[in-house]
């Protein structure tokens, strides 16, 4: 069962709608569809919300640290609630997928993603679930950091929004632990 969904992103208005904030944007979608609000929680270095699902309630966390220090917040909340790593789902942007592709996996390295790298370091394990939202690769000659910190085009935003809708439709199943079914459905979708 998933007890905590963490969205990765950077705090601050200048980053709100950037590709790198795909995790924050997905959680904002879940909160806007629920009867809840974000609450600042200093002891967890982040914003928390709790949404109702078929399996009960699930905590949502947006770290208020920058992306590269996301593990600080995740480690604190995981220790406080005594969460096993496989009860955590991390939602993040994925360069290796076309815009709008969404995939679920468990385990793995950080593949150069500094937010994942820091979470692995703070949890001491890599066996947590990841919901990867495709943002595509930068055009030839564009620096990766500049690309991920820029806003998607209108057409890219439509694709990302559709990916958020698709992933949101499986949150209940993820929370109750039907991860194999969700992986099968998401990982075979176009």
Active-site residues, by number, are 20
Contact predicate 13/97, CB 8 Å: no
The two structure tokens encoding residue 100: 């709008």
81-114 burial code (b ≥16 CB/10 A, e <16)? eebebbbbbbbbbbbebebbbbbbeeeeebeebb
Give the separation between CA 82 and CA 80, rounded to whole angstroms: 6
Q: How far apart are the first and last CA of the chain?
A: 26
Would you tell me the crossing angle of helices 154-168 and 22-32 to the nearest 10 degrees?
60
Q: What is the dihedral of CA 63, 97, 112, 71, to 10 degrees?
A: 20
Beta bridge partners of 52: 57
């Amino acid at each position: 069962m998933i007890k905590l969904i963490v969205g990765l992103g950077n705090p601050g208005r200048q980053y709100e709608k950037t590709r790198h904030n795909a995790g924050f944007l997905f959680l904002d979608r879940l909160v806007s569809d629920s009867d809840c609000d974000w609450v600042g929680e200093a002891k967890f270095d982040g914003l928390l919300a709790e949404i109702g699902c078929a399996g009960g309630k699930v905590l949502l966390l947006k770290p208020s640290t920058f992306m590269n220090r996301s593990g600080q917040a995740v480690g604190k909340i995981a220790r406080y609630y005594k969460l096993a790593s496989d009860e955590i789902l991390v939602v993040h942007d994925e360069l290796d997928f076309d815009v709008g592709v969404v995939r679920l996996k468990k385990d793995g390295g950080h593949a150069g993603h500094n937010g994942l790298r820091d979470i692995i370091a703070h949890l001491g394990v890599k066996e947590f679930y990841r919901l990867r939202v495709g943002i595509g690769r930068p055009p030839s000659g564009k620096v990766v950091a500049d690309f991920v910190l820029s806003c998607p085009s209108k057409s890219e935003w439509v694709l990302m929004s559709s990916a958020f809708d698709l992933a949101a439709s499986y949150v209940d199943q993820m929370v109750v632990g039907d991860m194999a079914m969700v992986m099968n459905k998401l990982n075979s979708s176009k």
